[in-house]
Amino acid sequence: MMSVVVPGLDISVFEVVLAVGDAEARLVLALQLVALVADYATAPIEIEQVTPVLLKLAVDPSKDVRSTLAEELRGEARLPVDVAFSIVAGDDDIALPFLAVSQAFAPVHLLAILKVGDEARQKTIAGRSDVPGEVVANLVKAGSIASLLALFENRAVSLDAADYRAIYQRFGQSQELVEKLMAKGDLPLDLRIMQARRVASRMRQMMAEKAWIPANDASDLCSEAEDNAVMQVLIEASPEERAQATSYLASKNMLTPALVIRAAATGQMSVVESALAHLSGFSQPRTAELMYASSPMNLKSLFRRSGLPQSCFGMVRASCDVVIDMREEGLSITSQEFGARLLEALMTRYEAMGSTERAKNIELLGRYGEIKIRKVAKRLKADLVRAA
């Protein structure tokens, strides 16, 4: 057995093994040099002296030698980075497991590998349990889809809203990546809304190209799908998130009267409250207080301040009255049941509401309400028109 730890380290014997030794001898040499590197009694100068030998072993003709050297050196932080780079440049089945755990790399080294490495190496770095922040930033900015998917699966990595937005901007057309993004619980709501809008736009374009249904019907169907997706985002959000998302909708001209009416017609009152709060400038608690107050004058004042068209008031008022009734009765009802009560209110209450206005509100329910209620509302609206 050769002794490698000697005073005034002489590497000539190692060179001889490299030159004339067989694969088995080189394998023994590799294991001995691994032990040398792993021994903290070994001086840095001695590790530096054996680096040329390690570099040759890292590209040894024998895969067994290369594989053993890489496997045994995975956890060695004192490994010269040149040797680590040489291993990473080798066969994937040797290089990738080494790259996944090696402690020889500083952030600057991992960034260098990201710059020149292929997708497999990007993906491997993204999956490391100790991905540095600057490496995460580089992956977000320039990483491949595969590396970003690996980053999503890495529980040791925390992405922020800016990261998600940058990734969506780069790869918003990738169905696989977007699906993974949408599954993220901390994804900013504006991205969910943006995706809903994008999906609706694609649907509208496809329907126009295929001419499956008349253009007007296709547009209404796509608008409904977009509104429903946006409402679902708002419904599932916390009050603070909902307020932020509502502000975003307003900035993009997506906080439309149609969205408010659709929410009111289906009993999604948290959406209505958030919309009226934003448009009126009142706090959400104050808005809810005015909406469900006993005096309808409070709601009228709030509604005027919101700037919504007066044609929306009847539907909003009726939906607020249904909520008041539910609270008095201690009930929790479905969207369909809400629609039925809303239709009943529009048909039987509000003595000051003229027949024309009543018919228009029922028409709105027939357009924006829950599907089963729409059919009933449309029949009643037709009856009102005939009676008039």
**Tens digit of each residue's pLDDT, the chain (388 residues):** 444 444 557 789 999 999 999 999 999 999 999 999 999 999 999 999 999 999 999 999 999 999 999 999 999 999 999 999 999 999 999 999 999 999 999 999 999 999 999 999 999 999 999 999 999 999 999 999 999 999 999 999 999 999 999 999 999 999 999 999 999 999 999 999 999 888 877 776 676 667 666 666 667 778 888 899 999 999 999 999 999 999 999 999 999 999 999 999 999 999 999 999 999 999 999 999 999 998 889 999 999 999 999 999 999 999 999 999 999 999 888 888 999 999 999 999 998 898 889 999 999 999 999 999 999 999 988 877 776 6
Q: Which token pair is 65?
A: 């030698």
Residues 268 and 238 in one domain: no
By C-alpha distance, which of 81, 68, 64 is closest to 35?
68
Q: Look at residue 377 and tell me if it is in a domain.
A: yes
Domains: count for the chain: 3
Contact 27, 62 (CB under 8 A): yes
Q: Are 295 and 361 contained in the same domain? A: yes
Which helix (H) or strand (E) is 97 found in, with range? helix 92-101
Q: What phi and psi values does residue 282 have, to the nearest 5 degrees?
A: -85, 160
Specify the DSSP class assigned to residue 291. Answer: H
Using CB atoms within 10 A of its CB, is residue 351 exposed (0-12), middle (13-18) or buried (19+)? exposed
Residues 36, 100, single domain; the answer is yes
Taking the CA atoms of 335, 294, 361 and 368 in sequence, report the sign of the dihedral they define: negative
Same domain, yes or no: 38 and 85: yes
Kindly state whether residues 311 and 266 are assigned to the same domain: yes
Domain coverage including residue 229: 188-255
pTM above the 0.85 mark?
no
State CA 147 to chain mean position distance: 15
Q: Which amino acid is at 289?
A: E
Cα 248 vs. chain centroid, distance in angstroms?
17
CA 26 – CA 58 distance, rounded (Å) = 11
271 and 248 inside one domain: no
State residue 130 phi and psi, 5-degree precision: -130, 45
The answer on 271 and 384 residing in a single domain is: yes
Structural contact between residues 259 and 270, judged by C-beta atoms closer than 8 angstroms: no
In a domain, 7, yes or no: yes
Q: Which amino acid is at 24?
A: E
Token pair in block for residue 148? 């970003």
